[in-house]
Amino acid sequence: MAALSPGAKLGRYEIVSPLGAGGMGEVYLAHDSTLDRKVALKVLPESVASDRNRMQRFVQEAKAASALNHPNIITIHEIGTEPGAHFMVTEFIEGENLRHHLRKPMTLLEAIDISVQVASALATAHAAGIIHRDIKPENIMLREDGIVKVLDFGLAKLTERWRKDEVDGDAATQAFVHTEPGAVVGTTAYLSPEQARALDVDTRTDVWSLGVVLYEMITGRAPFKGETPSDTSALILTAEPPPLAEFVPDIPAEIERIVRKALQKKRDERYQTVKDMLLDLKSLRRELDVSAAIQRSGTAAYASGMTRPALSTGPPPLTSQTSTLVTKQFGLNRSAQLGAAGVLLLIVAGAGWYWWRHRDTDANRIGNLTVTQLLGRKNDLGETFSRHARFSPDAKFIAYASPKGNGSAIWLKQLGTGEPFSNQGERQRDLVKATRHRRTVFQPG
């Protein structure tokens, strides 16, 4: 059928404006007159409606998405048929798709947040036996409030799990729509190696595609991009993407590891489930949050009037390098690391508070110190000849060398009382022996 103009009606839905078009039909913004709400309405072209296989895929998209209940998966309202038109009605998402959003620079935290939400949606779909198979920026919508929605399950494949969960064997067979043997489905730049080779796929194909999207969000470029789709497919099968650090200096090694693991060409070396990838992304997000909190606390202390130290006294940012080092040295997992970081932050803050409260008291104590000269023996010229002074182990005596007659002698003085004395012979040797385990207090001259 021809493109719908604003004001045209399909049942209770009135067309407001076109939103876009794809291989599976045209999408319009429409108004639901019964529930008085905005909806997105996807209309299949006649060529699709008359094609049994493509029509099955259209119905499959609706069934797959409507079977899932997750905040990051688009909500399907209904499937409708009007003379000459088959359509599907979904929630209308106010925002922009990720492809448009990629025109602006993105922060690492933003890329991780989007990936976490997409991975969460895929984990729910996979648990229900559904593989998306077409994860790409065009199928990821960003709402104005930051919520991410995964769209277009038109290429979804229902796995064996769905079939086993079905009570009706015939219904199970009908629900399991096989792709035509040897057919390559999806968008070339985001195809997994097994998709590019037209092999059977499992949930790990979505892990690969999400890894490609995450790479593109961080670097602003696709990891595999040839001049033609065939060249791109060849790169996917044979080439390794450049490291993230080549485009983003000082990128945390942990995000490099996550992306590299998601983009392993051999499925057995890739994340085995998207949930595993999700857990790693969440852990990294928490570490970055802790690091940012520590930096903010240091900035706040400086802004409050405390003297800024020449070197940072806080712990280093919790990058993956420090996280791995802590794990290896102390056997701590990420949760324990975060707990330790929190305790360290409290210790640093407490020490700063204590110093701030007691700085005047400490200064008064130092100012009230009394210094008493313990040794002051002088020769006829008024020179002090007290050398090699040592405390006894019990700190009650001090021994030192000083001239006596034409030679020198060991002098001892009991702290706090009397004059120093020097004996020759056995008593002197005993006293010297008593100071054998000693420490130097000073060495004048």
Q: Please give the Cα distance from 60 to 83 (Å, whole number).
A: 21
How far apart CA 398 and CA 373 sit, in angstroms, is: 12
Cross-strand partners of 230: none
DSSP state, 316? P
Catalytic residue check, 134:
yes
203 contacts 131 by C-beta, under 8 angstroms: yes
Contacts of 98 (CB under 8 A, 6+ apart): 114, 137, 138, 140, 141, 142, 213, 217
Distance set, CA 228 to CA 25, 46, 137, 224 (Å): 25, 30, 19, 11
Burial of 108 (0-12, 13-18, 19+ CB in 10 A): middle
How far is the C-alpha of 138 from the C-alpha of 47, rounded, in Å? 23
Q: How far is CA 156 from CA 129, 179, 259, in A?
A: 10, 10, 23
- Of the candidates 137, 125, 68, the one whose C-alpha atom is nearest the C-alpha of residue 98 is 137
Q: What's the rounded Cα separation, in Å, for the pair 346 and 332?
A: 19
**Residue ranges of the alpha helices (H) in 1-51?**
46-49
Round to whole Å and give the CA distance between 269 and 263: 9
73 has which bridge partners? 150
Q: What angle do CA 405, 408, 412 make, to 5 degrees?
A: 110
Residues 353, 407: Cα–Cα separation, whole Å: 57
Q: List the catalytic residue out of 36, 51, 134, 268.
A: 134
- Which residues belong to the active site? 134
